[in-house]
Copies of this chain bind each other. A is one copy, B any other.
Amino acid sequence: MTEQNKSDPSRQQLSPPPSGQPKVKVRPGRIRQRNREQILAAAEKEFSSKGFGATTVQQIADRAGLPKSNVLYYFSNKKRMYYALMDGIMGRWNDVFSNVRPEDDPATTLAGFIQVKMEMSRTHPLASRLFAMEIIQGAPVLKEYLSTSMKDWVRERAMVIQQWIDTGRMGNVDPVQLIHLIWSSTQHYADFQVQILAIEEKEAYTKKDFKHAAEFLTQVILRGCGLEVPE
């Protein structure tokens, strides 16, 4: 533990010395590829259920079905695994959320945004929880990302929403707060899964549960913005 260990004060950045692999001149290597993926999958499970500091390399190795030193051969240290995971999450995030233009329909666009975020909560709950823990813990790794890429992303969307408001195409609500609202309410189904399942007396989510929740959120949030819910 003690993530703030001896090592470099040059953390805080995504992908440190990005050269983790030995520079052997071998093509991709099926085994290498497979092992890396297994390790990352295991690391995601462990990190997302205990956080970085409480997870041991041994636990990751056990779950990946490899000896610890093999894991450290691929990723040289614990931090590098964490960075790699964060990189993956942010990459996926950037890919999924397409652009928005002022001429788009507000209701359809917002409904689509809710849809996509709910789909991410459903299909990638571990990534969601990992991200949530990183943020709750003060975003030691992602702070930079938040105040650059993510800030810009929000600001751009907020400007389009503001244009919709100014042209009378939706009710007058704070666009940034609206994005926070969509973010938090959809995220919740992944992050607070245990709480929701306990309250609803279920063992696990079904696809239907998510559909129902997405419809609820779409209805309430769109109406709350003075919009008609699209078909």
Residues of A that sit less than 8 Å from B by CB: 1-3, 48-56, 129, 132-133, 135-139, 143, 146-147, 150-151, 154-155, 171, 173-174, 176-178, 180-181, 183-185, 187-189, 191-192, 194-196, 198-201, 212-213, 216-217, 219-226
Contacts and interface: CB of A to CB of B under 8 A. Distances in A.
Contact of A136 (B132, B219, B223): B132
A137 B184 contact: no
B173 A183 contact: no
Contacts of A187: 184, 188
Nearest to A220: B224
A194 B184 CA distance: 14
For the residues of A in contact with B, the DSSP-based class is: helix
A174 B171 CA distance: 23
B56 A54 contact: no
A1 B56 contact: yes
Contacts of A194: 135, 138-139, 143, 146
B150 A195 contact: yes
17 contacts: A1-B53, A2-B56, A48-B136, A49-B137, A132-B136, A136-B136, A136-B191, A143-B194, A146-B194, A146-B199, A150-B199, A174-B212, A181-B217, A184-B188, A220-B221, A220-B224, A223-B223
A55 B54 CA distance: 8
